[in-house]
Structure 1
């Protein structure tokens, strides 16, 4: 079963959660079988300074704040060395929108990483960061991406999409443009950079907005084939302006979480094989339960993750053995993968 129109998708949304689970699990088995994957990755958040100051974000700081920071290239290389020592195969590099940020800053870092650790995969910069970087450096998005790819960029994360709807973004992230996120991703795919796709849910969106978002992801994937996985991200209201303004009082319910995972699998079936359950947002044990609604991936070890930590959602990092354990508790076969979803070994 698959919804081909928004009205069909909305009908599906109102199915009993157990029926959605059965549909999603059947599609998951047909797409990827019983394997649950995850990558050994290390997060580098190069700055928490951001001029966008989105109401949804607990991570950003204003320049001059006492806890604002901006990592030097040497700082980041020290973190990359730690990543290598921990057995990470992927660096996940994201930060904020900073006016004096340059393309050269990332080029120098990427080249040095590849010189020291040639096999380390660099997954870096959301579509939002790339768009901002292009504007500030008076370059086209394509030129920025081609230069970064030449310097060593292998893939891009899917963040910054939030909900691909102007009405919602005006409330939760007014500086962001849904069509610009899609445009940057399409260019990235065109120049040979594979990416993830995400959706931030559990704030002010309605089912219609979720469905609209999933259809937009599906259409772009049908056109480019460049998305590696789809990652629903559960919004954490703590320490955010949305919470302070009373627009979001609490987290999404467990049933809503399960419905989001299941609908993602159902609506993207045949387009994106991998549906990721991000344990950093849900917690490890809860993520194991959510795998039963069509999930096939636990994302990664998330060494040194800071963004969800700032919203009081933090269990530290996960070891590969821990993630394998939680996959097994769901009667699934755990496997360590690389960034591109190639299985490196079964655990």
Structure 2
């Protein structure tokens, strides 16, 4: 029977994909969690971080029609919207004044009516209203869509957005990199390989990014392991990935759920295994998130004992996961309580993982 110390030793030597798949399949949740926690403590200590941020979706119009998404609206829908740049800027300024946020997380969908000038005005308006706020977003998938729409290269889109005020790229849209999975969950989005290549272009331009992984739908253990290894390889190549965020799929209100492809949320045991194997593969390359918004605040505490050491952010105003049944936002004090509950030391950070204050 595997012991946690055996798993730690194997992880520190360096797991292969085959090793990691075997652990996912054969090791029990408690063994993996204990081993991953030991590795996290070795490299990161007991500090758990998060950013104080606001989420704004510039538009809910999207023609990708992903069956995993409950947020999007097609063009012409009565509740479709596009936010004016000055509206977004005002919301950010208010969040700074009232809540002390340091980051704007902004994304939307594939809106065929938006122009390059819209994003120029959007990012510059935010910077004018709140010069110290870091703008993070949109996703790699949005970069590709708008590049094609505007007949530009990925580099041209990213460079233009950076000039207008973009500081970092959201890690969304990664889903699971394996193509057989993407064909089911996001058939009209970029491939996993393209996601990685766009990230490399962004990193070359000095625009760092997060990296996500959406799990708990139709993937298998081998797909999870492969995804994490590819994120690790990206980080070893560029050094510009800021955080790895495993995102639990919330099926409520999505097409996959309505069609019966996914029967319900993945069990908590699987959440623990996904986070633990992430730490055991990534080691000290990246922080691993306990994304409370997708797993709930109680389980997030548990994941901090299974290899996770970041709570992502306060996520004021988040709407995408909320539309699929996820919880709402959290205050810095609430996130600090999640960390303290399991004996961790909470700290507010900025987007680039510099500590602002311990709470």
**TM-score, normalised by the number of residues in structure 2:** 0.94
RMSD, matched Cα: 1.1
Q: 2-side partners of 1:11 and 1:204: how far apart?
A: 19
2:197, 2:45 → 1: CA distance? 32
Matched residue, 1:190: 204
| Partner residue, 2:5 | none
Matching residue within 164, 167, 170 for 2:180: 167
Paired position in structure 2 for 1:149 = 162
Which stretches of structure 1, 4 residues or longer, exceed 6 Å deviation after superposition?
none
Residue in 2 aligned with 1:341? 353
The residue aligned with 1:113 is: 126
Q: In the TM superposition, what is the alpha-carbon distance from 1:76 to its structure 2 partner? A: 1.1
Distance 2:332 2:358 in 1: 11
1:114 Cα offset (Å): 1.7
Q: Quick one: distance in 1 between partners of 2:127 and 2:258?
A: 43
Q: Deviations over 1:223-279 (max 9, x none)?
A: 11110110000001110110111100010001000000101111111322x111111
Shift of 1:74: 2.0
Deviations 1:52-76 (A, max 9, x none): 0001101111111122111111221
Per-residue CA deviations over 1:84-141 (Å, capped at 9, x if unaligned) read 1221100000100011222221121211222222111100100000111111111111
Tell me the distance in 2 between the aligned counterparts of 1:57 and 1:115: 33
- Post-superposition offset of 1:171: 0.6
2:71 corresponds to = 59
Structure 2 partner of 1:267: 281
2:88 to 53, 65, 76: 76
Asked if the contact 2:176/2:224 (under 8 Å) is kept, the reply is: yes
CA distance in structure 1 between the partners assigned to 2:342 and 2:115 by the alignment: 45
SS of 1:199 mapped into structure 2: strand
Q: Which secondary structure state, in structure 2, belongs to the residue aligned with residue 82 of structure 1?
A: helix
Indicate which of 327, 332, 340 corresponds to 2:344. 332
Unmatched segments (≥5 aa) in structure 1: none
- 1:341 CA displacement: 0.6
The change in CA–CA distance for 1:203 and 1:153 in structure 2 (over 3 A counts) is same
Q: Which residue of 2 aligns with 1:5?
A: 16
Pairwise CA distance, 1:192: 0.5
Gaps of 5+ in 2: 1-9
Match of 2:254 in 1: 240
User: CA contact under 8 A between 1:42 and 1:303: conserved in structure 2?
Assistant: yes
**Which stretch has the larger CA shift, 139-148 or 227-236?**
139-148
What is the TM-score when the length of structure 1 is the normalising length?
Answer: 0.97
Shift of 1:185: 0.4
* 2:209 and 2:242 in contact (8 A); partners too: yes
Deviation at 1:6, TM superposition (A): 1.7
**Residue 22 of structure 1: CA displacement?**
1.8
1:5 Cα deviation after fit: 2.2
Give the count of matched residue pairs: 345
Q: Distance in 2 between matches of 1:244 and 1:21?
A: 33
- Report how far residue 324 of structure 1 moved: 0.8
Is 1:128 the counterpart of 2:150? The answer is no
For residues 302 and 277 of structure 2, the distance between their equivalents in structure 1, rounded to whole angstroms, comes to: 16
Between 1:17-26 and 1:109-118, the stretch displaced more is: 109-118
**Cα distance in 2, alignment partners of residues 317 and 244 from structure 1:** 26
Superposition map of 1:193-212 within 5 A:
193-212=207-226
**Match 1:46 to one of 46, 50, 58:** 58
